[in-house]
Amino acid sequence: MIRARLRAQAGFTLVELLTVLVIFTVVLTSLVALFVQGSTAQAELGSRFEAQQDARLALDKLRREIHCAKEAETSGGTGAAAELTLRLPSHCPTSGGSPVDVRWCTVSVATNRYALYRTPSAPCNATGVKWADHLTLATVFDYQAQAPTRRARVRLELQVDTDTTDAVPAYALCDAIILRNSLRETPTTAQLGYADTADFAPC
């Protein structure tokens, strides 16, 4: 009786096993692809957020140093430039207790990608402290010297994009920052940036 029942037990055929295996493989492949896409999107979002946060911190650092500086100069003389020199008086928190010139510059990292560096000595290059990365503009500084009716000021524009091939627009930061320690007077040849009195584009 028991043997007859055991003989009557029907098993799975090879075709049925292969069919189940194929269905399981398709479902599992779809799930893995979904998880990989989610992980990739999260990594890209994290990288984008980190680059934007670094740019905001760099802008904050630059704003404090420009506010405290008494003179400035861009590498190109007039117009937007890739390097900015700030003359900090001894009372500035980042001057170290004595007057000092600090330099900010953009350095090419890859095609259409630049990093922002700060160095307390010449020349300004990648040996300094990196403050921001994934910038799409090299000429981020524009300086306007003081005049009898205004103080000197610096225009700063940071455009951050971790992936220039996608449709997501670059994250842009732009500010016109006044040198609070500069004087309202006609600049002289003894001052930094005396040649650059041209106005710059608004943010």
pLDDT in tens, 54-90: 999 999 999 999 999 999 988 877 788 999 999 999 9
pLDDT tens per residue, range 38-64: 887 787 888 889 999 999 999 999 999
Give the end-to-end CA distance of the chain in Å, rounded to a whole number. 92
Is the model more confident about 106 or about 18? Answer: 106
pLDDT at res. 38:
81
How far lies 104's CA from each of 38, 48, 55, 179, in Å? 38, 23, 13, 15
pLDDT at 8: 59
pLDDT of 198 reads: 83
The structure tokens 């029907």 sit at 10
Give the pLDDT score at 114.
96
Instruction: Give residue 135's pLDDT.
Output: 96
Q: Given this model, what pLDDT does residue 90 score?
A: 92
Task: Band the pLDDT of 171: cuts 50, 70, 90.
Answer: very high
What pLDDT is stored for residue 47 in this prediction?
87
pLDDT tens track for 96-121? 889 999 999 999 999 999 999 999 88
Give one DSSP letter per residue of 31-69, joined into a string.
HHHHHHHHHHHHHHHHHHHHHHHHHHHHHHHHHHHHHH-
Query: What is the reported pLDDT for 7?
Result: 61
Average pLDDT, the chain: 88
Residue 93's nearest CA partner among 102, 104, 83 is 102
pLDDT of residue 5: 62
Domain positions in the chain are 28-178
Average pLDDT over residues 157-161: 95
